[in-house]
Chain A
Amino acid sequence: MDDKLLEERLSNLKDSYDNMPEDTRKGEILAAIKTEQKRKLPKQWHHLPYVASFIGVGMIAGILFMQFAGDFGISPGSETENSHTSSAALANQNEIDKTFIELNEYYNQKHEEAETELGMETDEIFIAREIRSRLIEEEANVNHIREPSKEDLADLKSRLIKLMDEEFTTPAQLIKEIESNPNGQKTDQLIEGQKLLSKLDGYKRHYQYYLLSSLYLGQLSEAEKAALVEQLQSGESEVINVLVQGAEDNGYRVVSEKGQLVVQIDYKGIAEKLTDALPADFREFLHLKDVQVFTNDGTLILAWKEIGDLLVRYEELYSSTNSSIIKDWIKSDVGHSLYPLFVLGHSSNSLFKENELKSEVRAAYSYVTAEYPSFSTAAAIKVELEALKLNSYKKPLNFEEKLVLLPDYLNMPKDLQQAGMKPIEEPILPLSDQLMEVYETFRAEKSEEALIGVGPFNIMRLYYYADSIKDYSTKYALYSDAAQLPALEDYIEDQSEKPVSLADSLEGYRFATLYYTDGDRRQIKGLRLRFDNNMEGLLFGMTHENGVWKVNFLPLQ
């Protein structure tokens, strides 16, 4: 075949391509863009919500990357940054290529290690896909859009490596770390425990994704699904055995549910494995979390009476623990889902049958009120039951839209509700991944720029965190009015000698509210920390200085 003939045929093929139907799903693309708009968080100060620590790891990574892009890239209006970049020595192509080759090799190595540890046998990149695609994107951007300085390139590389390290830390590694420190302080154990819970949630997605896209790729027949379950039970399949072992090491269990393999977090197993390294109240919390309320596909499986028992056990733990972290977890789990489920029902299991309250629901409500009369859960259920009785146990109109009145222990004190003060309920420690990123940047540079857009509550969290890890120079840098401070060396020496950690003062901490001067909402003076035994609370003084929030010297009053 000669060149001319080949080119003719290429030209004919081009005509065929040009006649391809142009049925772009524009509406769907724009809808996806709308979703993307929501992901672009404005960089203004806000209290990073408690739930952020439970958001999937990949998503956090995504958000962090957006911040990297903003920090590193050419952002509109950032003339200073641009002029800085252009005046610094630019990285040459070889340096850029070398950086990304190393980053990709590092990614592959970490990824492979993680997959082996998790027991996933696959060539597919399941974990940190977001990071993988961002690596590709960053490489393209650096190559074609930006001209990074050597310094920028090195900075980008170290940030990406750090992010990968964090992303690829498996639950098994965290379990081992906790296990190796049986005599740690309770606060530290709880912080480590929370990291583990967050990691378990994140990595569960990887297992689900693995099962769905590898084992259950395509439409398996019932016989094929049954074969997989059989392989789980018989232990004959090496692939399944590796998966089961990896899951167990990482705090999960592989079970058969509705004829299909599913992965569940084995909270109970973790509690038993870490008997010596976790506080008893935390272990009890894990036991409660282990109760399976829903199947993997979201069908309610727990009987109403069992849900009632579970609610009471949560309240019992809430009353007996003195840990604000555990109290927060309970408030989140029970207040947001388990209690509303008990009084509203679920799409897979309604409270009513033909508009009449089901006898088993009525029996469960009566059981809770009769068996546990001293509990606030029972008091709240009693109100529900009486309201239903007044309606002859018929389903009230607009029932699903009704306001759920939570048991007292889950509610805020009434004086606060009346004052209209919004409690900030996220825990002070540990820091969320996003805030940790702010901390690391501030620690490295001690520049107030890193604190721009961070609200007073989160600045206070950074302060507590710096103290908890004995990073006194960062703690010092968080103070306002530098001119009035003691010398840094004296301060560090003084702090190093103090017998207790600031975090110890958080025992019994429940939530914070902003603190204003004479009720003037424009004059924030800091935060009021409220405690179980001291609802009047402690004041944590702060100052808005040079456009950022700083901590007053000796802030607690």
Chain B
Amino acid sequence: MKFEDLPVDATRAGAVLLVLAVAFLFSPLFVRPPAATLVLFEVGVLFLLYALVLVGLNLQFGHTGLVNFGPVAFFAVGGYVAAIVTANDPYGAVGLGLPWPVGLAAGVVVAVVLGALIGASTLRLRDDFLAIVTLAVAEIVHGLIVTVRDVTGGSNGLQNVPRPIAATTGGGGAGELFATVLVFGALAVLFYGLFHRLSASPYGRVLRAIRADEQVTETLGKRVFRYKFVVFVYGAAVAGLAGALLVFYNGAAAPGFFTINVTVIVWIGMLIGGAGNDRGVLGGLAIIMGFQLATRFLNEQLPVITPDQFASVRLMLIGLLLMVIIKYRPEGIWGDADELGVES
């Protein structure tokens, strides 16, 4: 039985989970996971945020064929705007000290505006322009974050960003991690469900047609540009949301959270899992992040190799894995070769 056939609708499940998660936050209930599992929860939080970025990217690339090489730009903009709007006295940066919901909304809105600007200027051009422009924008955003120190705090980042979940659970430790996983997990399920519904509908059929042949789709009566634009903005919005959630989780924003590694990880996860398969891409992300976690443990057992050397070996292994996938299974583990038009 396939996941899609289960009598559970991810959109509803996500909405219910979100309500439960928020109810849990404000209840006197308290969960303390064993200390040994904390690292799993930490990686889990990051996985759920990257999953949000990835469901947007998969809608853009997997379903519509839009090559966005800069999802981290929207992730970073969402995060930094949220941080700047909400931080109290962030040490040599701008902090407006507004309530966190305002920061969350502002982060999403600015990510959407950036997405709309890039989309409006680039999506009418040939496909490869989008790839180049998004890659460049991601570098520009990162450059601005590091250099406009008076606003962003430069390489130190912004401190004293509110931590709404920590504040509700009474601060710190395992309970907070657990609650965070619950809330972010609910949001990830919700957006997975929404985007899955969108792609498994006549709307998604238009997206797949655009991926196959834009011109034919246009001559069959579809406003191709509008679909590409809207899908691009949706992806930007969830990436912005994920960025804002990250800074509210960390209580800070720093350039290190928003490096090109984010783009690399979500792209590799998508390609390994199978672009266009909403569930498969998340499986791919789990594989790549699980691999990183497993090798971290391994490094602790192998003291002869320095962490720096180990990081390089890990990158080589990931590169090798990607090459094997692309050569022998170009549709990814759960992807559909017919849908993607590749021969495996």
The reply to whether chain A is a binding partner of chain B is: no
